[in-house]
Structure 1
Amino acid sequence: MSTSDQPRHHRPTRNRPPLPRPPNPSRPAVAPRSKVSKRVLLRVASVACGIQFGWALQLSLLTPYVQELGIPHAWASVIWLCGPLSGLFVQPLVGHSSDRCKSKYGRRRPFIVAGAVAIAISVLIIGHAADIGWAFGDREGRIKPRAIVAFVLGFWILDVANNMTQGPCRALLADLTENDNRRTRVANGYFSLFMAVGNILGYATGSYNGWYKVFPFTKTVACNVECANLKSAFYIDVVFIAITTILSISAAHEVPLGAQASDAHGQSSGTDEAFLTEILGTFKYFPGSVWIILLVTALTWIGWFPFILFDTDWMGREIYGGEPNQGASYSAGVSMGALGLMLNSVFLGITSVLMEKLCRKWGAGFIWGISNIIMAICFLAMIATSFVAYHIGYIGHEQPPAGIVIAAVLIFTILGIPLAITYSVPYALISIRIESLGLGQGLSLGVLNLAIVIPQVIVSVGSGPWDQLFGGGNSPALAVGAAAGFIGGIVAILAIPRTRIQKPIPLP
């Protein structure tokens, strides 16, 4: 275990009162560390596979889909505002509530189940948006307003549900590892690994164009082939999220939080302090190391979010030269983009398996910084590929050359390495360092989520008009992402110290 990864207890100075100790009921609610095996951690983390399956479909197919419903490219990013906005409020609130939940089924599991049910409902609404719009009066035309309303409603529910599920699941893993540095990194590595598996399955599902033949009833007068494929993929998602949720919640043995558990830690069970006052009040007590993690997280997600918004759209528009609802080129590009994201997830999974060894050898901050620099280089490579594709002159006349397609898919694939770091290292670092504040793990991860969603709000509002200002492509937003990722990488390398290696504690 490395020394600088130890929780840093913040000592009061003469000019600052001692740190308050907010209620932290995390430890009495789980089994003792000696009883938590790697198998249990794996099963608990498996719900990430089901969640990410749906996310993969969402990330690869929904930006093209909203444009097929008639929303212009410049406004497509605004639709994604629901994710950051829901995360801004939902995840901290759910984390805070799960820290204090006294359900007989445990603190985290009720939220995981409720979130999984909401995910299933939301994807069914999204998949049937065109049919709902038709039922309420939409007919043939470029813009389908009623379908757009149904889509946005389902999309907002989906993002709220994702935040409701992921936060408590990560908090449950932190509970089970009891903030042991190495075990926390291992548990978050498992979570990242299952995210990779879910991505692979989801992107593979999204890249297949024949689901409407497997589920022929999905193709209707309102729902064309592309819509039927999306609808079918979401049916599969509902089954998958049900299976992984059952695996996860049946593995964790939470002890219900009661007055006795709280009293054992000298805490009152009747904490009714206002949520927003509590979370905002803790910010002024954060040590410098926590602020550095939050800063690097924010810069990292300013980098990632333009790619997440426009990855398959970039492939369809700038590599294949197509437009939504105009010929087959755009759809072919979206399918190829989904294939590239599937390969991205393979690298994500491999990196997740190696995560603990990499962090022990070079330090979590150094690994995080290098991964951000790799991300920035890949975004610059995407811009260069777009430039070359435009000047070759094939766009609008023929399919892209094999070399251009291979280069684009290779960039998508390599990006799986920094994505694995982003999905794992910040969560492990914040879980370890913020423990000295006495916060529950649910609220702690909600605080980290603020550093993720605030940049996403900025990118969602600004990337579409910013791209439109420079000609309507995706390169301007990618350029901003590359700059932010590079700066975040330098800050992580310089400000999060490399750690001295010690003999790791063996897992049971």
Structure 2
Amino acid sequence: MKIKPALRFWQIWNVSFGFLGIQIGFALQSANVSRILSNLGADLHSLSFFWLAAPVMGLIVQPIVGAASDRTWNRFGRRGSYILGGAFIAAVAMWLMPNSAALVSVIPPLVFGALMFALMDGSFNITMQPFRALVADMVPEDQRTLGYSVQSFLINTGAVVGSVLPYFLTNILQVSNTAAEGEVPPSVIWSFYIGGAILLLSVIWTVFKTKEYPPEVYCAQNGIDFDEWTAYGKQKKSLGEKLTNFWHLFTQMPKVMAQLAVVQFFSWFALYIMWVYTTPAVAQHAFGTPIGDASSELYQEAGNWVGVLFGAYSLFAALFSIVMTRVAKALGRKTTYGTALLLGGLGYISMYFFNTPNLLILSMVGVGIAWAAILAMPYSILSESLPADKMGVYMGIFNFTIAGPQIISGFIGGFILRSLFGNEAIYMMIVCGIAMLLGALAVSTIKTSREKQP
């Protein structure tokens, strides 16, 4: 077996640089989609159903793209064409979604906005899934934690930029933050324009700065018979055969993937609720807006502040990403992962006790540390257990553990808010905290071959 060469830091940086732009787009989506859909006419109870577009698209897209990229090789490499194509579609969707009210005359703006949201998130998934596999392809095993930590740092740096863009445009550049009922404020529209452009440019940087290993070299590095790999890729299979093969791979997943799935369930259940309900929670709890208010200037101000809070947790996540590799080496990945989720749970619960906007930033410290670990630790733990020739498809299957809990959360979130909490969204943040604490407990069930025990 040919040894995969160690990469210089800036080579590792270039491999993941495109994630900077992807996360700017994703952060804009996370902090502003509920706000945009509310502006276009969605009520508080229906928001979680609109947000189902995100995990459903991930559930469909990521395994397909993962399997396809495992068997692709062209001038852009194995993963590059998917990364680039997804980024282009995502940028176009970002430019269109906040303009739904102005662009549509045949279908209602809310429907068009929801469709653009689904297209945008699906394209993010097309781009993100190969990025996860690209790190595993290019980075040798002893640099994997560093590789995913760098990726986590870039993700969270991009998230800071994306989250604070509307606030920056409103308060520094004096772009209007209000709009007529049924329309989206210009500060949000221009944020999506800027975010889409940066997304596309950063992905282009990665695609053209990262030279993927040719198939014969990749096979030699990972102990794969090149002739068999080539012959398998040329086989024509029916849809039934593809589904049968996929099901076989699913049932033969490494045990550690199933163990991680339990942790992922609680983590992503909490994150989905956060993305859907933080804006109404902060608007009601810290700004004093009435339940159901989505068009007042005070609600728009709360929406901008939620962007700042999301930027804050992303900043704390980026800072923790810098030291996460060293912490994991000292304490072990499981201890680092579990402690991070514990802090995240406490951060969510503290939001109930902090009812002024500035104090909520303190809550974001724990949330940010948890987010950094969620982005890096599962992939670092999982990648060492996956066969190299099926890295992409298994990373896609692993996305079930992200999409599944979000879909469940989407179906029951509105019911919980209405039936148990009387539409007081701040209590949904406590639900987030409890879920994250359960995730921290579930980390103890993970068993890996080389995990350092505390």
Using a 3 Å threshold, how does the CA distance of structure 1 residues 208 and 316 change in structure 2: closer, same or farther? farther
Shift of 1:486: 1.5
Stretch deviating more after TM superposition (488-497 or 304-313): 488-497
Is the CA contact (8 Å cut-off) linking 2:16 and 2:154 kept in structure 1?
yes
Structure 1 counterpart of 2:49, from 72, 78, 84: 78
Structure 2 counterpart of 1:485, from 422, 436, 448: 436
Is the CA contact (8 Å cut-off) linking 1:44 and 1:247 kept in structure 2?
no
Sequence identity (%): 21
Using a 3 Å threshold, how does the CA distance of structure 1 residues 490 and 266 change in structure 2: closer, same or farther? same
1:245-394 equivalences in 2 (<5 Å): 245-255=203-213, 257=215, 264=226, 266-267=228-229, 268=231, 269-272=233-236, 274-323=241-290, 324-385=293-354, 389=355
Report the aligned-residue RMSD. 2.8
* Match in the other structure for 2:152: 192
Using a 3 Å threshold, how does the CA distance of structure 1 residues 260 and 211 change in structure 2: closer, same or farther? closer
**Does residue 90 of the first structure (1) align with residue 61 of the second (2)?**
yes
**Does residue 201 of the first structure (1) align with residue 201 of the second (2)?**
no
Using a 3 Å threshold, how does the CA distance of structure 1 residues 476 and 264 change in structure 2: closer, same or farther? same
Is the CA contact (8 Å cut-off) linking 2:318 and 2:372 kept in structure 1?
yes
Shift of 1:121: 1.0
TM-score, normalisation: structure 1: 0.80
The structure whose Rg is larger is: 1
Is the CA contact (8 Å cut-off) linking 1:120 and 1:238 kept in structure 2?
yes
Matched letter for residue 334 of structure 1:
G
* Match in the other structure for 1:408: 360
Name the CA distance, whole Å, in 2 between partners of 1:322 and 1:235: 29
**Does residue 117 of the first structure (1) align with residue 75 of the second (2)?**
no
**Does residue 183 of the first structure (1) align with residue 136 of the second (2)?**
no
Name the CA distance, whole Å, in 2 between partners of 1:188 and 1:271: 33
Query: How many residues align structurally?
Result: 440
Using a 3 Å threshold, how does the CA distance of structure 1 residues 471 and 119 change in structure 2: closer, same or farther? same
Name the CA distance, whole Å, in 2 between partners of 1:265 and 1:420: 40
Name the CA distance, whole Å, in 2 between partners of 1:346 and 1:63: 22
Provide Cα deviations, 1:123-162, integer angstroms capped at 9, x if missing partner: 11102111113xx17xxxxxxx711122011101101100
Name the CA distance, whole Å, in 1 between partners of 2:73 and 2:116: 30
* Match in the other structure for 1:19: none
Using a 3 Å threshold, how does the CA distance of structure 1 residues 247 and 319 change in structure 2: closer, same or farther? same
Name the CA distance, whole Å, in 2 between partners of 1:494 and 1:466: 29
Matched letter for residue 278 of structure 1:
N
Matched letter for residue 242 of structure 1:
L
Provide Cα deviations, 1:56-104, integer angstroms capped at 9, x if missing partner: 1111111122112111101011111111001111001101000001323
Is the CA contact (8 Å cut-off) linking 1:207 and 1:336 kept in structure 2?
yes
Query: Secondary structure, in 3 states, of the residue corresponding to 2:343?
Result: helix
Is the CA contact (8 Å cut-off) linking 1:316 and 1:334 kept in structure 2?
yes
Structure 2 counterpart of 1:146, from 108, 112, 122: 108
* Match in the other structure for 1:99: 70
* Match in the other structure for 1:227: 185
**Does residue 466 of the first structure (1) align with residue 425 of the second (2)?**
no
Name the CA distance, whole Å, in 1 between partners of 2:168 and 2:371: 24
Using a 3 Å threshold, how does the CA distance of structure 1 residues 149 and 247 change in structure 2: closer, same or farther? same
Name the CA distance, whole Å, in 2 between partners of 1:425 and 1:271: 35
Matched letter for residue 363 of structure 2:
I
Shift of 1:265: 5.7
Name the CA distance, whole Å, in 2 between partners of 1:500 and 1:124: 46
Name the CA distance, whole Å, in 2 between partners of 1:260 and 1:160: 29
* Match in the other structure for 1:429: 381
TM-score, normalisation: structure 2: 0.89
* Match in the other structure for 2:133: 171
Query: Secondary structure, in 3 states, of the residue corresponding to 2:75?
Result: coil
Shift of 1:499: 3.1
**Does residue 449 of the first structure (1) align with residue 399 of the second (2)?**
yes
Query: Secondary structure, in 3 states, of the residue corresponding to 2:211?
Result: coil
Provide Cα deviations, 1:289-347, integer angstroms capped at 9, x if missing partner: 23111221122111222112222332112211225445322122222221122121111
Matched letter for residue 159 of structure 1:
D
Name the CA distance, whole Å, in 1 between partners of 2:446 and 2:131: 29
Name the CA distance, whole Å, in 1 between partners of 2:21 and 2:215: 27
Name the CA distance, whole Å, in 2 between partners of 1:377 and 1:259: 47
* Match in the other structure for 1:394: none
Shift of 1:223: 7.8
Query: Secondary structure, in 3 states, of the residue corresponding to 1:106?
Result: coil
Name the CA distance, whole Å, in 2 between partners of 1:496 and 1:311: 34
Matched letter for residue 318 of structure 2:
G
Using a 3 Å threshold, how does the CA distance of structure 1 residues 439 and 299 change in structure 2: closer, same or farther? farther
Matched letter for residue 234 of structure 2:
G
**Does residue 243 of the first structure (1) align with residue 201 of the second (2)?**
yes
Provide Cα deviations, 1:22-51, integer angstroms capped at 9, x if missing partner: xxxxx99xxx73263221110120111100
Using a 3 Å threshold, how does the CA distance of structure 1 residues 49 and 315 change in structure 2: closer, same or farther? same
Shift of 1:263: 5.2
Matched letter for residue 329 of structure 1:
L
Query: Secondary structure, in 3 states, of the residue corresponding to 1:210?
Result: helix
Is the CA contact (8 Å cut-off) linking 2:35 and 2:294 kept in structure 1?
no
Stretch deviating more after TM superposition (340-349 or 376-385): 376-385
Using a 3 Å threshold, how does the CA distance of structure 1 residues 265 and 480 change in structure 2: closer, same or farther? farther
Query: Secondary structure, in 3 states, of the residue corresponding to 1:157?
Result: helix
* Match in the other structure for 1:504: none
Gaps of 5+ in 2: none
Name the CA distance, whole Å, in 2 between partners of 1:460 and 1:175: 34
Name the CA distance, whole Å, in 2 between partners of 1:450 and 1:100: 21
Gaps of 5+ in 1: 1-26, 138-144, 390-403, 502-508
Stretch deviating more after TM superposition (32-41 or 358-367): 32-41
Query: Secondary structure, in 3 states, of the residue corresponding to 2:228?
Result: coil
